[in-house]
């Protein structure tokens, strides 16, 4: 009887327990194979072209472009005026001609990669093809033999030149194809030069003179000597002319600043020709150079222990927030005919940054080998802006190019930081368009060139991104903007036009899509690439009235879809204030099962200069789609204080609170998602990010330690006291304080992650590259130091020899992240020594 009673009780208990367990959703098993399937290498085989990149030509409203699908690449030429789109050549015929001439086999789907140059008034194209045939290398250069130590009575011949032994190289064909013809012409078999001169030569617009830097000073050479250097840089007959005498390291006229170079390399290269960046007058008679004095700025260092026999030291100047000293900038104007120079009359005592406005580059010159940077003005004026160190005072200025006298035209003042866009000069330089956020929204204002406001051009609660062009005859401004249409995502960028008097606003590529556009130099037509994260990208050609001229392309996603790929899902939630709209995207495993309970991962990048929320379809899935395949719901979302494409209030929300400003929104949106979707396990929330996202993800673990359970933070600026002053002082703020003697001091106070190290409860992984000269590894090391002192367990990984982006260790870092979240949120730890998901796809050649 007792046994029967026991069995009854046990049976009831067992059945009750079984029914309870049966109702509880299970956690997914880590699916590493699915994540490996969508590696960047594999995706490159599945997805090809997703947008049209037009190469605008100089004659007419024409452009050519390449578009790749699963059938291979095709090349097209479009004539917008005549509404025609034709293949640039027949692929079948091109394959036949190349095979016949080079003796290498080609077919229509497997042509070599072309880099076209349009010639003969754009009626023909030229390009290079390298064959597999081996020939003797042409040796135009001859080595000089040092004869200084050879005595006069030596019997050895003192020939100063010695021919190099020819080596075998692949034969090169330089082809020309006349459009519409029935064959190729071989121009020559000389390979395209390496064009080493591009690394150092700044050529005048009229090609009469070339400027460069050497030993920290400015040098010049004439056209004749430059052509010698193009042919042979070691030609000892080249005449170089030294222009300045006072250049020195960190106060030079061009050349290297030391960043990204080892100390040994910098010393070795100082005697070589190096680049000098500056801006030319349109008549080639003046050259404007911005010289920066950073001798008084403290140095920073990284050590590369993996390059060469000995570890190498890299020393560079790096200004940190709150430091009293600041970069000192001068504007020099060099007169080419007289070889004299003057300085623009600036107050060098003021701590300010300077930007000289340049003439917009024509789209039809983007493929040109030679395209010098030109001043905005053609009439002897230098337009530039100055912004105070605290970024609250912006002046638009003009200087006389002959005297250096300066006049302030426009002043902008704000209590947070001021942002700017290039000045637009037009109507024979009598009018200009100035971009400002003075109303709380970014808009254009029309001024005369004396600095008098004529009228506000754009207005309303939307964000103007930039001017694309001005039609002076119709007095029309073409510009990109966000939020004009209140019924779509405010981040979606579209092209618009408006009359300069503020009337006639019209969207030229409307629709519930994000777009990227390229407008012809004539402003008559534009290519519009459009998509969302959950649509197939398409491309079209439109006129300046907004009329559709023709459909161009639709991306071929057939192979991607065949793998089981599914589009992510955009969403909109409320911020922690219950008012502000927050936009995000949800990424699910492609084998998603609504009956399972998934941990939630947030991928974050706080900006404030941008947000990590994709708006268009992208093949860059490494941090989002791919991470979801392991077995997570991955979301990325905005936050107050994020992207500038919304209001200035939204963008500047985090001013003065750069550590914590976005975290409440990240937590609150996650809770709303869990309330809406019962497949999200709100008890298992992880967070990860890189750079600013590395900073934010660690901060989330420390500010909300009971909510965020695991994080992977890579290359994070955990201590913004040692990050660069531009980013920190701009977005967080720096206070100017004047003492009794009139000396200005700078006060910078910011919360750091390591100050909250005691709060850590969850599982944190820190990663940094040891030669990161952007976000110094010291930030991550200080975080680790604080955690050790607080007696916390955490994971730490140093990426040897890697800069900020981790380079060839990016794939390795992905699997570190997958392992970390799999272990702590899915309960499965990877224990094999080999990362088989990397090894499986790599050929074994040894």
pLDDT in tens, 79-92: 999 999 999 999 99
Looking at residue 18, its pLDDT comes to: 35
Predicted confidence at residue 159, as pLDDT, reads 46
Residues 375-405 pLDDT 10s: 999 999 999 999 999 999 999 999 999 999 9
Give the long-range contacts of residues 114-123, CB within 8 A, separation 24 or more.
Answer: 114/66, 114/75, 116/55, 116/64, 116/75, 117/367, 118/57, 118/64, 119/176, 120/178, 121/59, 122/57, 122/58, 122/59, 122/62, 123/178, 123/179
pLDDT at 154: 37
What 3-state DSSP class applies to 141?
A: coil
Contact between 528 and 520 (Cβ < 8 Å): no
**For residues 755-790, b (16+ Cβ closer than 10 Å) or e, as one string?**
ebbebbebbbbbbbbbbbbbbbbbbbbbbbebbeee
Six-digit token pair at 93? 């015929």
Mean pLDDT value of segment 468-483: 97
Lowest mean pLDDT among 157-161, 344-348, 512-516, 733-737: 157-161
586: tokens are 């949800």
Paired strand residues for 540:
528, 551
Contacts of 320 (CB under 8 A, 6+ apart): 298, 721, 722, 723, 724, 725, 728
Phi then psi dihedrals of residue 462, to 5 deg: -145, 165
Per-residue pLDDT band at 9 (split at 50, 70, 90): very low
Whether 145 has a pLDDT exceeding 50, the answer reads no
Mean pLDDT to the nearest integer, 440-467: 98
pLDDT, tens only, 314-342:
999 999 999 999 999 999 999 999 999 99
Given the structure tokens 């730490």, which residue do they identify?
796
The confidence score (pLDDT) of residue 267 equals 80
Model confidence pLDDT, tens digit, residues 166-216: 789 999 999 999 999 999 999 999 888 777 888 999 999 999 999 999 999
Stretch 299-313: mean pLDDT, rounded?
90
Question: Which residues, including other chains, have CB under 8 Å from residue 834's CB and lie 6 or more apart?
Answer: none
Cβ–Cβ < 8 Å for 279, 358: yes
pLDDT at 162: 52
The pLDDT value given to residue 165: 67
- Binning the chain into helix, strand and coil, the percentages to the nearest 5 are 20, 35, 50
What is the phi-psi region of residue 807: left when phi exceeds 0, alpha when psi lies from -120 to 50, beta otherwise?
left
User: CB of 384 within 8 A of CB of 355?
Assistant: yes
Q: Are 138 and 169 in contact (CB under 8 A)?
A: no
The stretch 633-639 carries a mean pLDDT of 97
What is residue 815's three-state secondary structure?
helix
For residue 794, pLDDT over 90 is answered with yes
Contacts of 76 (CB under 8 A, 6+ apart): 64, 65, 67, 85, 86, 87, 88
Provide the pLDDT for residue 163: 55
What lies within 8 Å, CB to CB, of 85 at 6+ separation is 76, 77, 78, 79, 550, 552
* 95 closest CA partner among 68, 63, 72, 116: 72
The tens digit of pLDDT for each residue in 349-369 reads 899 999 999 999 999 999 988
Q: What is the pLDDT of residue 613?
A: 94
Q: Check whether 22 has a pLDDT greater than 50.
A: no
The domains located in the chain, with CATH, are 32-46+560-718+753-839 (3.40.50.1820), 55-138+166-194 (no CATH), 421-554 (2.130.10.120)
Residue 514 confidence (pLDDT): 98
Cβ 723 vs Cβ 695: under 8 Å: no
Each residue of 94-144: pLDDT tens digit? 999 999 999 999 999 999 989 999 999 999 999 999 999 999 887 544 333
| pLDDT(14) > 90 | no
Cβ distance 195 to 184 under 8 Å? no
Element (H, E) at 37: helix 32-37
Query: Which of the four pLDDT bands, split at 50, 70 and 90, describes residue 712?
Result: very high
Query: Element (H or E) spanning 650, and its range?
Result: helix 648-651
Higher-pLDDT residue of 619 and 748 is 748
- Report the C-alpha gap between 683 and 680 in whole angstroms: 9
Q: Average the pLDDT over 616-635 and give the result.
A: 92
| 541-558: pLDDT as tens digits | 999 999 999 999 999 999
* Phi, psi for 184 (deg, rounded to 5): -110, 150
**DSSP state letters, 716-779:** ----GGGS-HHHHHHHT--EEEE-TTS-EEEE-----SGGGGGG--SEEEEEEETT-SSS-HHH
pTM, two decimals, is 0.92
Give the pLDDT of residue 277: 94
Cβ 532 vs Cβ 512: under 8 Å: yes
Among 148-157, 172-181, 454-463, 733-742, where is mean pLDDT lowest?
A: 148-157
For residues 571-583, give the mean pLDDT. 97
pLDDT at residue 70 is higher than 80: yes
pLDDT per residue as tens digits for the range 212-237: 999 999 999 999 999 999 989 899 99
């Amino acid at each position: 009887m007792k046994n029967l009673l026991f069995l009854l009780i046990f049976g009831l208990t067992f059945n009750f327990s079984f029914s309870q367990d049966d109702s509880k959703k299970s956690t997914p098993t880590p699916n590493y194979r699915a994540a490996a399937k969508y590696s960047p290498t594999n995706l490159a085989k599945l997805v090809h072209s997703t947008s049209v990149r037009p190469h605008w030509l100089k004659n007419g409203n024409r452009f050519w472009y390449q578009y790749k699908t699963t059938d291979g690449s095709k090349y097209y030429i479009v004539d917008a005026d005549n509404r025609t789109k034709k293949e640039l050549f027949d692929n079948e015929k091109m394959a036949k001609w190349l095979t016949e001439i080079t003796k290498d086999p080609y077919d229509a789907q497997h042509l070599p990669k072309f880099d076209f140059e349009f010639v003969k008034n754009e009626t023909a194209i030229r390009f290079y093809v390298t064959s597999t045939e081996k020939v003797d290398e042409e040796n135009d250069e001859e080595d000089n033999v040092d004869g200084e130590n050879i005595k006069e009575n030596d019997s050895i011949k003192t020939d100063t030149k010695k021919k190099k032994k020819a080596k075998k190289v692949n034969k090169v064909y330089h082809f020309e194809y006349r459009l519409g013809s029935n064959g190729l012409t071989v121009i020559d078999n000389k390979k395209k030069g390496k064009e080493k001169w591009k690394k150092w030569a700044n050529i005048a617009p009229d090609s009469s003179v070339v400027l460069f830097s050497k030993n920290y000073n400015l040098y010049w050479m004439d056209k004749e000597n430059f052509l010698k250097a193009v042919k042979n840089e070691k030609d000892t007959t080249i005449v170089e002319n030294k222009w300045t005498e006072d250049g020195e390291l960190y106060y030079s006229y061009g050349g290297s600043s030391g960043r990204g170079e080892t100390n040994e390399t910098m010393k070795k290269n100082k005697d070589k020709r190096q680049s000098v960046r500056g801006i030319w007058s349109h008549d080639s008679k003046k050259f404007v150079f911005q010289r920066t004095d950073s001798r008084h700025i403290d140095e920073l260092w990284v050590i590369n222990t993996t390059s060469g026999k000995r570890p190498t030291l890299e020393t560079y100047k790096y200004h940190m927030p709150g430091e009293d000293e600041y970069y000192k900038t001068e504007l020099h104007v060099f007169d080419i005919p007289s070889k004299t120079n003057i300085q623009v009359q600036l107050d060098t005592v003021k701590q300010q940054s300077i930007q000289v406005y340049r003439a917009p580059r024509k789209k039809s010159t983007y493929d040109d080998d030679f395209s010098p940077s030109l001043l905005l003005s053609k009439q002897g004026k230098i337009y530039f802006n100055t912004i105070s160190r605290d970024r609250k005072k912006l002046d638009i200025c003009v200087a006389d190019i002959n005297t250096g006298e300066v006049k302030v035209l426009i002043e902008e003042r704000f209590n947070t930081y001021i942002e700017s866009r290039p000045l637009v000069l037009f109507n024979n330089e009598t009018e200009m368009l100035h971009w400002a956020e003075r109303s709380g929204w970014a808009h254009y204002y029309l001024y005369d060139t004396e600095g008098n406001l004529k009228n506000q051009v754009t207005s309303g609660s939307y964000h103007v991104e930039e001017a694309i062009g001005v039609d002076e005859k119709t007095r029309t401004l073409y510009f990109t903007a966000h939020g004009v249409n209140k019924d779509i995502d405010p981040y979606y960028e579209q092209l618009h036009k408006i009359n300069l008097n503020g009337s006639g606003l019209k969207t030229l590529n409307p629709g519930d899509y994000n777009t990227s556009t390229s407008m012809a130099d004539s402003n008559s037509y534009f290519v519009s690439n459009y998509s969302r994260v959950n649509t197939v990208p398409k491309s079209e050609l439109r006129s300046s009235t907004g009329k559709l001229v023709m459909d161009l392309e639709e991306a071929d996603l057939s192979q991607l879809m065949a793998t089981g790929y599914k589009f992510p899902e955009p969403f909109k939630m409320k911020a922690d204030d219950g008012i502000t709209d927050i936009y995000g995207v949800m990424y699910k495993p492609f084998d998603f099962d609504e009956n399972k309970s998934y941990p939630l991962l947030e991928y974050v990048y706080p900006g404030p200069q941008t947000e990590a929320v994709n708006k268009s379809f992208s093949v860059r899935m490494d941090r989002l789609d791919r991470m979801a395949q392991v077995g997570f719901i991955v979301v990325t979302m905005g936050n107050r204080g994020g992207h500038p494409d919304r209001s200035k209030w939204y963008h500047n929300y985090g001013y003065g609170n750069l550590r914590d400003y976005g975290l409440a929104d990240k937590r609150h949106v996650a809770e709303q998602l869990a309330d809406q979707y019962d497949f999200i396990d709100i008890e298992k929330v992880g967070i990860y990010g890189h750079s600013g996202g590395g900073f934010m993800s660690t901060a989330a673990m420390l500010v909300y330690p009971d909510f965020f359970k695991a994080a992977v933070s890579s290359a994070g600026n955990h201590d913004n006291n040692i990050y660069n002053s531009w980013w920190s002082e701009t977005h967080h703020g720096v206070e100017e304080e004047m003492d009794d003697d009139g000396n200005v001091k700078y006060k910078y106070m910011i919360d750091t992650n390591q100050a909250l190290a005691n709060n850590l409860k969850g599982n944190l992984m820190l990663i940094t590259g040891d030669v990161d000269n952007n976000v110094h590894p010291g930030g991550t090391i200080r975080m680790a130091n604080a955690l050790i002192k607080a007696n916390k367990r955490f994971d730490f990984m140093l990426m040897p020899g890697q800069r900020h982006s981790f380079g060839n260790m990016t794939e390795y870092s992905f699997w570190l992240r997958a392992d970390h979240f799999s272990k702590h949120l899915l309960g499965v730890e990877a224990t094999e020594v080999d990362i088989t998901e990397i090894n499986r796809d790599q050929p074994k050649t040894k």
